[in-house]
Amino acid sequence: MDYQANYDRWLNSPKVSEEDKKVLRAMTEKQKQDAFFKDAEFGTGGMRGILGPGTNRLNSWTIGKVTVAFGEFLLKTYPNAREMGVAISHDNRHCSREFTLQAAEIFNKMGIKAYIFDALRPTPELSFAVRHCGACGGIMITASHNPKEYNGYKVYDHTGCQLVPDAIAPMLEILKGLPNELEVEIPLFEKKAETIVLGPEVDDEYVALVEKCQINPDLDKSNFKVIYTPQHGTSYESAMRVFQDCGYNIIPVKEQCVHDPNFGATKSPNPEVESAWELALEYAKREHADLVVMTDPDGDRCGLAYLSSKGTYERLTGNQSGALLIDYLFSSRKARGEMPADPVMYDTIVTSSLGREVAAHYGVKTESFLTGFKFIGERIHHYEKIGHGPTFVFGYEESYGCLIQPFVRDKDGVQAILLYSEMALYYHNKGIALDKAMEDLYARFGYHYAFLKDAYFAGMEGASTMAKLMKDLHANPLKEIAGLKVAAVEDYLNDVITFADGSKKAIEGLPPSDVLKFVFEDKSTLCIRPSGTEPKMKFYIEIIGEGEEATKAKGEAIYRDFMKIIGLEA
């Protein structure tokens, strides 16, 4: 794509506001390239981009074009799409409400009914609302945990699940065939449809279903204190209501309960980032709390920190907290006789193997998918549709996302923090800190050290460099890293596993994806994939060993050597 031609097109268009043209004129050459070298694209978490003028930006023009494409797609996919309608929600970010109202108006002009909330709501409630309203689709305006400069656009089908690649392909073809974002026109229907503001009954039903996720609701909560932060985002109202209904002594981080689009009281809205926890941990120390839980801005991810046996506050990674929760959920269900006959758990190919081992211990099989919770949601629907098969009992991914009950078809941070709190309470009442519970888990299943690193490749040049790196790795996979021999290379782009002896095995049941996973002789793994939401590559490393120190040292050695091999700084 010719970035200069796109830039000139915007600068010379009478449709572009003088305010935006002022921003365009002030751009450096590098900023021009980044804003115009491509169109904003759909990745693992929908379409995300920096707010501002440009084809590779989120603005009223790019939002308008993709909404027309989604509307055309729904009309072609669902014969009664106009009557079924589309549910739309949004987070606390800049332009989120404006984009929501714009999308609803476009659908109405196309004759499609729209359902919106009176204010922001979390992603999982949007997923629930699609099903509650019997809508044919949904839109969530959010950039999840990205920095404040971003916004995004996620699309859902009638099941409340984000569209998987095969399902979204026809929409992307429609999008490709439309005129450019400044010239696209809304195809008007003879009768304009209405926008319906959803009432409190949707909130009430969603909250009631979340509360039913509890396994042991009657645990003694009298000596257990929880700090909660929504990171300025959407889950504050519903999470506080759930915690209070369920009898928890909950203390909100009040500075971060304001729906601030600038995220003014946090250094990061991402639970994976250490600085995101600073204020919440100050609260925990002051209040002598037992647990700290956090949801991200759109309420689908969560994280937790806890008072350790050493008297310090420590955090669990998504892999650790997920495995610990699996052990608690499945052991509790077994004890209560509530485990179904053919249980199944879903995770992703970059999630630690620890959770799978715990699940297998309780007789639960695991199916692993590509990164993106849409694949888990789609699989839940698949078995429902055919009317037989295994019963869903849990789904999660390493990036702090999980689902306990499938009335939502996306990860649900409110469900997660409720069950994480119950799990922590269970151990608290037994006098066991969560670090000791993790030590017990490692003693039973082996020490697993799993961690994530990344490298940014911003702009047009960065995108080209990242694409070349991945192409080279696919064409010439590494045979040894940090003195460890590679036993197998899992190439998810070409759907094949190649073993050290040259033999091959097909990867079945997963769509092609630009992902490589190296499996070493000692069962350690290194997985590489470009992010679907930000301009960066992600490196997932897992080491399985006897002791913490040696295991961590091996993991760091793999990371440093790999970065040296591909010419990047560790």
Q: Tell me the pLDDT band of 461, cut-offs 50, 70 and 90.
A: confident
- The answer on 278 and 174 residing in a single domain is no
Q: Which residue has the tokens 């998918």?
A: 369
**Cross-sheet strand order for the sheet of 291-295:** 249-252, 225-229, 291-295, 302-307, 313-316
Q: What would the mean pLDDT of 277-288 be, rounded to a whole number?
A: 98
- The answer on 333 and 395 residing in a single domain is yes
- The answer on 343 and 245 residing in a single domain is yes
Q: Tell me the pLDDT band of 426, cut-offs 50, 70 and 90.
A: very high
| Contact by Cβ (8 Å): 537, 466 | yes
> How high is the pLDDT of residue 548?
85
For residue 507, what are its two tokens?
């990867």
- The answer on 359 and 317 residing in a single domain is yes
The enclosing domain of 495 has a CATH number of: 3.30.310.50
pTM: 0.95
> How high is the pLDDT of residue 42?
83
| Contact by Cβ (8 Å): 298, 281 | no
Q: What would the mean pLDDT of 98-105 be, rounded to a whole number?
A: 98
Among 419, 445, 471, the domain-final residue is 445
- The answer on 451 and 430 residing in a single domain is no
Separation CA 323–CA 357 (nearest Å) = 9
Q: Tell me the pLDDT band of 1, cut-offs 50, 70 and 90.
A: low
Separation CA 201–CA 198 (nearest Å) = 8
293 within a domain of the structure (yes/no):
yes
- The answer on 332 and 242 residing in a single domain is yes
| Contact by Cβ (8 Å): 311, 249 | no
| Contact by Cβ (8 Å): 95, 88 | no
Q: What would the mean pLDDT of 224-229 be, rounded to a whole number?
A: 98
Separation CA 210–CA 373 (nearest Å) = 19
Is residue 366 pLDDT above 90, yes or no?
yes
| Contact by Cβ (8 Å): 436, 145 | no
- Out of 96, 144, 353, 531, the active site residue is 144
349 within a domain of the structure (yes/no):
yes
Per residue in 142-193, pLDDT (tens digit) is 999 999 999 999 999 999 999 999 999 999 999 999 999 999 999 999 999 9
341 within a domain of the structure (yes/no):
yes
How many distinct structural domains can be found in the chain?
Answer: 3
> How high is the pLDDT of residue 46?
83
> How high is the pLDDT of residue 163?
95
Q: Tell me the pLDDT band of 41, cut-offs 50, 70 and 90.
A: confident
β-bridge mates for residue 447, sequence order: 545
Among 430, 445, 460, the domain-final residue is 445
22 within a domain of the structure (yes/no):
no
Residue range(s) defining the domain that contains residue 357:
206-445
- The answer on 415 and 405 residing in a single domain is yes
The enclosing domain of 53 has a CATH number of: 3.40.120.10
- The answer on 486 and 357 residing in a single domain is no
- HSE on the CB side for 61, CA within 13 Å? 20
- The answer on 148 and 213 residing in a single domain is no
Of 399, 394, 397, the closest CA to residue 348 belongs to 397
Could you tell me which residue, 388 or 408, shows the higher pLDDT?
408
125 within a domain of the structure (yes/no):
yes
Q: Which percentage of the chain shows pLDDT scores above 90?
A: 94
Among 146, 164, 198, the domain-final residue is 198
502 within a domain of the structure (yes/no):
yes
Q: What would the mean pLDDT of 226-241 be, rounded to a whole number?
A: 98
- The answer on 278 and 133 residing in a single domain is no
> How high is the pLDDT of residue 339?
96
Q: Is 238 a catalytic residue?
A: no
Is residue 534 pLDDT above 80, yes or no?
no
Q: Tell me the pLDDT band of 463, cut-offs 50, 70 and 90.
A: confident
- The answer on 423 and 282 residing in a single domain is yes
Separation CA 105–CA 169 (nearest Å) = 25
**Amino acid letter at 407?**
F
> How high is the pLDDT of residue 512?
93
- The answer on 360 and 249 residing in a single domain is yes
> How high is the pLDDT of residue 309?
98
Q: Which percentage of the chain shows pLDDT scores above 70?
A: 99
123 within a domain of the structure (yes/no):
yes
Q: What would the mean pLDDT of 91-109 be, rounded to a whole number?
A: 98
Q: How far is CA 542 from CA 135, 230, 517, 519, in A?
A: 41, 30, 11, 10
| Contact by Cβ (8 Å): 270, 296 | yes
> How high is the pLDDT of residue 44?
66
26 within a domain of the structure (yes/no):
no
